[in-house]
Structure 1
Amino acid sequence: MGGGGSDVAQLPVFDLGPFLEKCILGGQEPDEEIKKQCEGLAQCLKDTSALVVKDPRCPSSDNATFLDMLERYYEQPNEVKRPDERPHFHYQVGVTPEGVEVPRCSMDPACLKEIEKQPEEHRAHVPKGADPKWRFMHRVGPRPAETKFKELNAEPVYPEKFPEWEGNMTMWGTKMLNALEVVAEMAAIGLGLDRKAFVDKMRNGPHLLAPTGSDLAKYQDVGTVFAGYHYDLNFLTIHGKSRFPGLYIWLRNGNKTPVKMPEGCLLLQAGKQLEWLTGGAINAGMHEVVFSEGTKGAVAKAKEEGRSIWRVSSTLFGHIASDATLEPLGHFATDEAMAKYKKCCAGDQVQEELDTIKLKPNGLA
């Protein structure tokens, strides 16, 4: 994924600064103005499964430093990147080569039927086989001292030729995770839950900075699908701006919209764990990444300017802690919601999803 916000009329920009200054740094309880902003933010998640936010702690220059390094990493020959693979840890750390991750929808008859019913102008590309994208997974934040899900909380991988890797990954990953946690608090307030309802469950979660890499020299046909139609299995996903367009999201009303994020902003998308905790009040957002006419134009411009033509996403997956419980919270815990979103361990939900998208090798518990 990666990229950023559709038309401002559909996805307004929420400034996290006032909440950060008053309620987190200032230690105050939310006033009426802040509560109103929180309600607007929560409603946007309900309506679109997505948000565009601005966090004063996340400047564009830091995102650029991150993208520069990842472009250099992905430009390396495949044989240099392969030692960074960790398939025995479900590819939850290190590099995932192209042709490994399979969109869940491609094996889900209900999802394929959903695509079939979509109006032509809002129809997703039918996922066919594994995605032709690379991905690097890097853990962000502390891990639990004890967990039943050790493979979801593995030690990070550091590519040999990048001494700056740990510093840059930690810098940008921590900043995006901090922004995500502010959104989690504001969303909880706006949804009528305890302010810490989500962030308490995120503590020591298997959060992953997970930039994708798509080779736009190798795959340059309009319509090439780099990430097939899917939702994210985690709690909230946050992106800095990518240098190439191609991300499309589906709003709750079924409309497909391209992502064009304002400079200096971040895009968030609701994942399956947030859907679970809200009993479906917020849906996990469907999206895909495709080589579009806009991508083609951006590639031509990058070539003219001598820049990299690897499309790198600036993506972090925020998770509920592996050993925490997933179930509809507070007033979302209706009989109907509890029947559909059964109580389970977040780690079990993640492992089931990884198995489905072919990131959990056969024979691993």
Structure 2
Amino acid sequence: MELPVIDLSPYLKVSAKISDDLLNREKEVDPQLKNLCSEVSRTLRETGALLVKDPRCSAEDSDRFLDMMENYFEKPHEFKRLQERPHLHYQVGVTPEGVEIPRSLVDEEMQQELRAMPKEFQPYTPTGPDPKWRYMWRVGPRPSNTCFQELNSEPVIPEGFPEWKETMDSWGYKMISAIEVVAEMAAIGFGLPNYAFTSLMKQARSGPHLLAPTGSDLQRYGQEGTVFAGYHYDLNFLTIHGRSRFPGLSIWLRNGQKVEVKVPVGCLLIQTGKQLEWLTGGECIAGMHEVVVSNRTVNAIEIARQHNRSLWRVSSTLFGHIASDAVLKPLGHFADSPLASNYPPIRAGEFVELELAAINLKGKKEKNE
């Protein structure tokens, strides 16, 4: 199955000219635009993933970012560990390989679901923590007053990268802009005001959006079947990825089918996170996914070797968040859905801290826990 590609240009042209209120008056909205918004919400509901084309995010922007991150991840371990901040839940700076635990290793309910899957759709079974590195870079203004300071901490800049801040901020802001447009379009498609989601993202100035590229060393871990990111969902609102230079990402559709994702050049992949599930009362389910060295990855490794290119697989992932102090609860008509009681009100920051603890990124667990 091929995921549909949604061109955001028609919505961008209209939204730049008219007010928020006008976008929500049924009689004023162009039928084609309304259909496009419905396509966005339907695809997020049914597949948990969406490919978009945003004219503001070019392939050149992506390449510039990937080049810098390959250069960083190729540095020695001792250098990279200087940017490690475990006391801040690894929410800024680098997370070394062997720290993040796949949700499927610690969630018994999820393990039962996996065993019940048809064999051909079952994920790979990780043997321990993920062997990937990750760098967390917060994008956007920090809130002026928050109860979740560690989720909104100052960024960490590695020495020897004078272009770091400008490159990270530039690519990060462009991907956040794409997320905001998709969030508005999805809200309209769901029959909510177009600002229903984005207003929560911007409460108290901004959610703790994280540009969080991963680095996987294919020189060391390039064997087919190696699990870089075990089967999991994302705890945030929407996740967006630029195109990686090496394949390996697989997602699960709402019907349980497993699909290896192919992101066309110049496109971005968006996935539903747990916060969107909360806000829609389970109408959208957080998209499950994994990153594993596949046969296509092995072929790409061989081609990269022949051309003397970097063998670090970098994903330009950005986690778009609801603001830490905003309350997660089913919005509008979703509050009346049969599943709404499964999503009681909780501040987004509290929710994030609970999720981080489960995957070993918030403090250290006791041995008997």
Superposition TM-score tier, normalisation by shorter sequence: over 0.9
Q: CA deviation at 1:334?
A: 2.2
Q: CA deviation at 1:362?
A: 3.9
Question: 1:115, 1:126 within 8 Å by CA — same for their partners in 2?
Answer: no
Q: Deviations over 1:233-259 (max 9, x none)?
A: 000000000000000000001000001
What is the aligned counterpart of 1:21 among 6, 13, 16?
Answer: 13
d(CA) in 2 for partners of 1:105 and 1:159? 32
Give the letter for the 1:59 counterpart. Answer: S
- 1:274-313 alignment, distance < 5 Å: 274-313=276-315
Structure 1 residues 31-40 or 209-218, which shifts more?
31-40
d(CA) in 1 for partners of 2:305 and 2:347? 48
Match in the other structure for 1:108: 107
Question: 2:94, 2:133 within 8 Å by CA — same for their partners in 1?
Answer: yes
Match in the other structure for 1:207: 209
The gaps in structure 1 that reach 5 residues or longer are 1-6
Question: Cα 1:153–1:224, aligned 2, differ >3 Å: closer, same or farther?
Answer: same
Q: CA deviation at 1:336?
A: 3.4
Match in the other structure for 2:262: 260
Secondary structure of the corresponding residue to residue 336 of structure 1 = coil
d(CA) in 1 for partners of 2:126 and 2:279? 28
Secondary structure of the corresponding residue to residue 303 of structure 2 = helix
d(CA) in 2 for partners of 1:168 and 1:339? 43
Q: TM-score, normalised by structure 2?
A: 0.94
Give the letter for the 2:134 counterpart. Answer: R
Higher relative contact order (CA 8 A, sep 6+): 1
Question: 2:282, 2:340 within 8 Å by CA — same for their partners in 1?
Answer: no
Q: TM-score, normalised by structure 1?
A: 0.95
Q: CA deviation at 1:110?
A: 1.0
Q: CA deviation at 1:338?
A: 3.1
- 1:234-273 alignment, distance < 5 Å: 234-273=236-275
Give the letter for the 1:199 counterpart. Answer: T
d(CA) in 1 for partners of 2:349 and 2:63? 33
Secondary structure of the corresponding residue to residue 144 of structure 1 = coil
The reply to whether residue 133 of structure 1 matches residue 135 of structure 2 is: no
Q: CA deviation at 1:126?
A: 2.2
Match in the other structure for 1:183: 182
d(CA) in 2 for partners of 1:169 and 1:340? 37
Q: CA deviation at 1:85?
A: 0.4
Question: 1:248, 1:288 within 8 Å by CA — same for their partners in 2?
Answer: yes
Question: 1:238, 1:316 within 8 Å by CA — same for their partners in 2?
Answer: yes
Question: 1:325, 1:346 within 8 Å by CA — same for their partners in 2?
Answer: yes
Question: 2:281, 2:337 within 8 Å by CA — same for their partners in 1?
Answer: no
Match in the other structure for 2:26: none
d(CA) in 1 for partners of 2:38 and 2:283? 14
- Runs of 4+ in structure 1 deviating by more than 6 angstroms, as ranges, are none
Q: Deviations over 1:40-75 (max 9, x none)?
A: 110001110000000000000000000000000000
Give the letter for the 2:9 counterpart. Answer: G
Match in the other structure for 2:150: 151
Percent identity for Structure 1 against Structure 2: 59
Give the letter for the 1:325 counterpart. Answer: V
Secondary structure of the corresponding residue to residue 333 of structure 1 = helix
Tell me the C-alpha RMSD between the 2 structures. Answer: 1.1
Q: Deviations over 1:212-267 (max 9, x none)?
A: 00000010211000000000000000000000000000000100000111110000
d(CA) in 2 for partners of 1:133 and 1:208? 17
Q: Deviations over 1:95-114 (max 9, x none)?
A: 00000000122111111111
Q: CA deviation at 1:335?
A: 6.2
Question: 1:211, 1:314 within 8 Å by CA — same for their partners in 2?
Answer: yes
- 1:346-357 alignment, distance < 5 Å: 346-357=348-359
Give the letter for the 2:312 counterpart. Answer: W
Question: 1:137, 1:210 within 8 Å by CA — same for their partners in 2?
Answer: yes
